[in-house]
Structure 1
Amino acid sequence: MEDLLQVGVITTTHGIRGEVKVYPTTDDAHRFEDLTYILLDTGKELCELEIEKVRYFKQFVILKFKDVDNINDIEPYKGRSLYVTREFAVPLKENEYYIADLIDMKVFLEDGSFFGTLKDVMETGANDVYVMQTEAFGEVLVPAIKDCIKAVDVEQGTMTIHLLEGLC
Structure 2
Amino acid sequence: MNQERRILLGRVLGAFGVRGELKFQSFTDPVATALKYQPWLLVHNGNERELPPVRGRETNKGLVVTFPDCADRDVAEALVGAEIWVARSRLPKPKPGEHYWVDLEGLAVSTVEGVELGKVSYLFNTGANDVMVVSGDRERLIPYVNEQFIVSVDFDVGRIVVDWDPDF
Query: Taking structure 2 as the reference length, what is the TM-score of the superposition?
Result: 0.81
Q: Which runs of 4+ in 1 moved over 6 A?
A: none
Distance in 2 (CA, whole Å) between partners of 1:9 and 1:155 is 33
Q: Letter of the aligned partner of 1:96 in structure 2?
A: E
Equivalent position of 1:17 in the other structure: 19
CA contact (8 A) 2:38 2:90 kept: no
- Give the letter for the 2:155 counterpart: V
**Cα deviation per residue 1:54-86 (whole Å; 9 max; x = unaligned)?**
122346211101121123334333222212212
- Alignment of 1:153 with 2:146, yes or no, is no
Q: Identify the match of residue 40 of structure 2 among 38, 41, 44.
A: 38
Structure 1 residues 108 and 37: CA distance shift in structure 2, 3 A: same
Structure 1 range deviating more: 60-69 or 105-114: 105-114
Residues 93-108 of structure 1: pairs in structure 2 closer than 5 A:
93-108=95-110
The residue correspondences of 1:12-161 to structure 2 (distance < 5 A) are: 12-58=14-60, 60-135=62-137, 138-146=138-146, 147-161=148-162
Q: Per the alignment, in what secondary structure is the counterpart of residue 127 of structure 2?
A: coil
Range moving further from structure 2, 60-69 or 92-101? 92-101
Identity of counterpart residues, as a percentage? Answer: 26
How far apart are 1:9 and its partner, in Å?
A: 1.6
Size of the aligned set, in residue pairs, is 164
Gaps of 5+ in 1: none
Report the aligned-residue RMSD: 2.5
Deviation at 1:156, TM superposition (A): 4.2
Residues 35, 107 of structure 1: alpha-carbon distance in 2 compared, 3 angstrom cutoff: closer
- For residues 91-131 of structure 1, give each alpha carbon's deviation from its aligned partner in whole angstroms, at most 9, with x where no partner exists: 31122222222223321111222112222211233431112
